[in-house]
Chains A and B, each alone.
Chain A
Amino acid sequence: MTPDGIPHGSHASRVIIGDLLDEKGIEPGRALFLVQSEGMILPGRVEAVSGYVLGRDGRVHRWWLSWSEPGNTYQLSPWAEVPDPVDAFGGDAEFRDAWSVVFDGSGD
Chain B
Amino acid sequence: MSPVSLLRYLFALGLAWLVGACSVADPGTTAAAVVGSPTAIASQGTFVDVARIARDATWAPGALADHFGKHGSEGPWPDTGAYDRSARDTIRAGQPFTYIDRTANVRRRGFYDPAGNRFTSVTEDLRRITTHFCPDIGERYVVLLPESTYRR
Chain A residues near B (Cβ < 8 Å): 1, 4-7, 9-10, 13-14, 32, 34-41, 47-52, 62, 64, 66, 78, 80, 82, 88-89, 91-94
Contacts and interface: CB of A to CB of B under 8 A. Distances in A.
B101 A37 contact: yes
Contacts of A39: 119, 131, 133, 135-136, 141
A7 B60 CA distance: 25
Nearest to B134: A39
A82 B137 CA distance: 33
* Residue among B104, B108, B127, B137 with most chain A CB within 10 A: B104
Contacts of A47: 102-103
B66 interface: yes
Given A5-B141, A93-B125, A35 B70 contact: no
B61 A94 contact: no
A108 to B, nearest CB: 11
B144 A64 contact: no
Contacts, number: 93
B91 to A, nearest CB: 15
A36 B124 CA distance: 12
19 contacts: A4-B137, A5-B141, A6-B144, A34-B60, A34-B63, A34-B128, A36-B108, A36-B130, A37-B101, A39-B133, A41-B136, A49-B103, A50-B66, A51-B104, A62-B60, A78-B69, A91-B127, A92-B123, A92-B128
Interface bracket on B: 20 to 34
A88 B60 CA distance: 8
A35 B101 contact: yes
A37 B104 contact: yes
B86 interface: no
Contacts of B130: 34, 36, 50
